[in-house]
Amino acid sequence: MTAKALPRGKSRLRARSARGRPKGSGRGRKVLLWLAVIAIMIFCLFPFYWLINTSLKTGPDLSAANLVPPNPSLKNYDSIFSDANFITALRNSVIVASLTTFFALLFGSFAAYALARLRFRFKFVILAIVLSITTFPPIAIAAPLFKLWTDTGLYDTLLGLVPPYLTFSLPLTIYILASFFKEIPRELEEAALVDGATHFQAFYKVVLPLAAPGFVTAGLLAFIESWNQFLFAITLTSSPDARPVPAALAFFTGSQQFEVPLGTITAALVVITVPLVIVVLIFQKRIVAGLTAGAVKG
């Protein structure tokens, strides 16, 4: 009787507490929550909206702080796409960022698999050293790299940009993939080995397909890191044939001397930002799955 009376007593207490609450308290909290979400969205998206707004302005309208362009025009977009240097810079950015992402996933997958599966001493120390590279200031090695690249003939080449980009993209790739590999059961690989597969076949045919969200996350982050890299791009290149987009934007000129080409720069920024936003929105579920791998254990 006592065991049955306890749940009833709890239910009565809950009913009383529910009666004591005002009916509008739940709705008020929801309204405040949605207002907070809307405020955060406006705060985050307003700079990007202002970028698009400025890119649609020309002439005197550029100096006017209007929320809506008074005379919207696509002149700035026409000017950047008629510029051969900007098209070349876009091509260079795609090539360098794609190569960096490919090598980051290739080398990072093997390193992450070793850190996740093999048993050896100082594994945590090695991972900590790898991650510490991301905190290293790139400006500290810009001058030595400039001298080394000049002596070896890699200066002002597309291939010369890949190693520095890879240095700062690879640590995060290793960390994300290692966290994801730890979540994949070992029994699946052991079953493949029992069926006659080699260790590489088990890794290639069993582990990699299951780690697809982690690869998407690591690949996108590596691509974005390489796409937005400015310091090495401006330091290790000197001609329009080898400059990526971030460095090319610094050399935009206005129609007159001492004029800041604000309209063309913002139009170029919109062009190089929108594709990244679209890709992130398409793969957002896989990105979240890759970033949260290893966060919950149960």
For the chain, the distance separating the N- and C-terminal CA atoms, rounded to the nearest angstrom, is 36
**Token pair recorded at residue 211:** 């780690």
How buried is residue 276: exposed, middle or buried, by Cβ count under 10 Å (0-12/13-18/19+)?
middle
The closest alpha carbon to 172, from 121, 105, 229, belongs to: 105
pTM > 0.95? no
Pick the CATH number of 82-291 from 3.40.50.720, 3.20.20.70, 1.10.3720.10, 3.40.50.150: 1.10.3720.10
Q: Which sequence spans correspond to the domains of the chain?
A: 25-73, 82-291
What pLDDT was estimated at residue 274? 85
pLDDT in tens, 87-138: 999 999 999 999 999 999 999 999 998 888 888 888 888 888 888 888 888 8
Residue 222 to residue 172: CA distance in whole angstroms: 8
pLDDT in tens, 66-81: 888 888 888 889 888 8
What pLDDT was estimated at residue 227? 92
What pLDDT was estimated at residue 162? 94
What pLDDT was estimated at residue 258? 58
Which residues in the chain land under pLDDT 50? 1-6, 13, 296-298
What pLDDT was estimated at residue 298? 42
